[in-house]
Structure 1
Amino acid sequence: MALVKKPVTGMKDIQPAEMQIRDYVIGLIKETYKGFGFTPIETPCVENIANLSNKQGGENEKLIFKILKRGEKLNLETAQTEADLVDSGLRYDLTVPLSRYYSNNAANLPKPFKALQIGPVWRADRPQKGRFRQFYQCDIDILGDPTNLAEIELILATTTLLGKVGFKGFTVHINDRRILKGMAKYSGFDEAQYDEVFIILDKMDKIGLDGVAKELASNGFAEESIERYMGLFKGLNEAEDGVAYLAETLGDCLEGGAAENLKQICEAVTATTQASFKLQFDPTLVRGMSYYTGTIFEIGVEGFPGSIAGGGRYDKMVGKFTGMETPACGFSIGFERIVTILLDEGFTVPGSKEKIAYLVEKGVDSKVLGTVLQEAMAGRAAGQQILVAWMNKNKKFQKEQLTAEGYSEFKEFYKEALK
Structure 2
Amino acid sequence: MSLKKKPVTGMKDILPAEMQVREYVMNQIRETYGGFGFNSIETPCVEHIENLTSKQGGDNEKLIFKIMKRGEKLNLETAQMENDLVDSGLRYDLTVPLSRYYSNNAAVLPSPFKSLQMGSVWRADRPQRGRFRQFVQCDIDILGDPTRLAEIELILATTTLLGKVGFKGYTVRINDRNILKGMAAHCGFSEESYDQVFIILDKMDKIGMDGVAGELKEAGYPEENIKKYLALFETVTRDAAGVRSLKEVLNDAMDPEQAENLAAIIDSVSEITTSQFKIEFDPTLVRGMSYYTGTIFEILVDGFPGSVGGGGRYDKMIGKFTGIDTPACGFSIGFERIITILMEEGFTVPGSEERIAFLIEKGVSDGVMNEAVKEAMSERAKGKTVLVSQMNKNKKFQKESLQKEGYSQFKEFYKEALKETN
After TM superposition, the structure 1 = structure 2 runs for residues 47-126 of structure 1, keeping only pairs within 5 Å, are 47-126=47-126
Matches of 2:348 and 2:238, distance apart in 1: 44
Query: Is the partner of 1:274 in helix, strand or coil?
Result: coil
The equivalent residue for 1:27 is 27
Q: Mark the CA change 1:237 to 1:273 in structure 2 (over 3 Å): closer, same or farther.
A: closer
Aligned residues of 2:238 and 2:280 also touching (Cα < 8 A): no
The equivalent residue for 1:252 is 252
The amino acid across from 1:102 in the alignment is Y
The equivalent residue for 1:177 is 177
The amino acid across from 1:278 in the alignment is K
Give the deviation of 1:365 after TM superposition.
Answer: 2.7
Give the deviation of 1:370 after TM superposition.
Answer: 2.0
Query: Is the partner of 1:54 in helix, strand or coil?
Result: coil
The equivalent residue for 2:369 is 369
Matches of 2:238 and 2:394, distance apart in 1: 69
Matched, 1:399 2:399: yes
Q: Mark the CA change 1:313 to 1:240 in structure 2 (over 3 Å): closer, same or farther.
A: closer
Give the alignment's Cα RMSD to 1 decimal: 1.4
Q: Mark the CA change 1:71 to 1:313 in structure 2 (over 3 Å): closer, same or farther.
A: same
The amino acid across from 2:62 in the alignment is K
The amino acid across from 2:293 in the alignment is T
Per-residue CA distance 1:116-164 (angstroms, 9 max, x = gap): 0111100001111211100110000000000000000000000000111
The equivalent residue for 2:208 is 208
Query: Is the partner of 1:358 in helix, strand or coil?
Result: strand
Give the deviation of 1:98 after TM superposition.
Answer: 0.2
- Structure 1 unaligned regions, length at least 5: none
Between 221-230 and 34-43, report the one with greater CA deviation.
221-230
The equivalent residue for 2:380 is 380
After TM superposition, the structure 1 = structure 2 runs for residues 1-400 of structure 1, keeping only pairs within 5 Å, are 1-236=1-236, 241-400=241-400
- Structure 2 unaligned regions, length at least 5: none
Give the deviation of 1:241 after TM superposition.
Answer: 2.4
The amino acid across from 2:262 in the alignment is L
Matches of 1:367 and 1:308, distance apart in 2: 54
The amino acid across from 1:308 in the alignment is V
Query: Is the partner of 1:172 in helix, strand or coil?
Result: strand
The amino acid across from 1:112 in the alignment is P
Matches of 1:401 and 1:227, distance apart in 2: 61
Give the deviation of 1:238 after TM superposition.
Answer: 10
Query: Is the partner of 1:10 in helix, strand or coil?
Result: coil
Query: Is the partner of 2:168 in helix, strand or coil?
Result: coil
The amino acid across from 1:83 in the alignment is N
Give the deviation of 1:264 after TM superposition.
Answer: 1.4
Query: Is the partner of 2:332 in helix, strand or coil?
Result: strand
Between 330-339 and 15-24, report the one with greater CA deviation.
15-24
Query: Is the partner of 1:251 in helix, strand or coil?
Result: coil
Aligned residues of 1:239 and 1:245 also touching (Cα < 8 A): no
Matches of 1:40 and 1:182, distance apart in 2: 37
Give the deviation of 1:364 after TM superposition.
Answer: 2.5
Query: Is the partner of 1:241 in helix, strand or coil?
Result: helix
Per-residue CA distance 1:191-229 (angstroms, 9 max, x = gap): 011011111101111111121111001011122221221
Query: Is the partner of 1:257 in helix, strand or coil?
Result: helix
Give the deviation of 1:256 after TM superposition.
Answer: 3.8
Matches of 1:394 and 1:195, distance apart in 2: 62
Per-residue CA distance 1:370-393 (angstroms, 9 max, x = gap): 222111111011011100011222
The amino acid across from 2:128 in the alignment is Q
The amino acid across from 1:368 in the alignment is V
The amino acid across from 2:19 in the alignment is M
Matches of 1:235 and 1:369, distance apart in 2: 75
Matches of 2:199 and 2:303, distance apart in 1: 24
Give the deviation of 1:237 after TM superposition.
Answer: 5.3
Matches of 1:277 and 1:407, distance apart in 2: 35
TM-score w.r.t. the length of structure 1 is 0.97
Query: Is the partner of 1:347 in helix, strand or coil?
Result: coil
Matches of 2:328 and 2:127, distance apart in 1: 31
Give the deviation of 1:239 after TM superposition.
Answer: 9.6
Q: Mark the CA change 1:394 to 1:294 in structure 2 (over 3 Å): closer, same or farther.
A: same
Query: Is the partner of 2:418 in helix, strand or coil?
Result: coil
Q: Mark the CA change 1:240 to 1:311 in structure 2 (over 3 Å): closer, same or farther.
A: closer
Between 234-243 and 120-129, report the one with greater CA deviation.
234-243
Query: Is the partner of 1:386 in helix, strand or coil?
Result: strand
Aligned residues of 1:57 and 1:291 also touching (Cα < 8 A): yes
Q: Mark the CA change 1:391 to 1:234 in structure 2 (over 3 Å): closer, same or farther.
A: closer
Query: Is the partner of 1:410 in helix, strand or coil?
Result: strand
Matches of 1:126 and 1:18, distance apart in 2: 23
Matches of 1:246 and 1:338, distance apart in 2: 34
Query: Is the partner of 1:407 in helix, strand or coil?
Result: coil
Give the deviation of 1:404 after TM superposition.
Answer: 2.6
Q: Mark the CA change 1:41 to 1:35 in structure 2 (over 3 Å): closer, same or farther.
A: same
Matches of 2:132 and 2:141, distance apart in 1: 24
Give the deviation of 1:368 after TM superposition.
Answer: 2.4
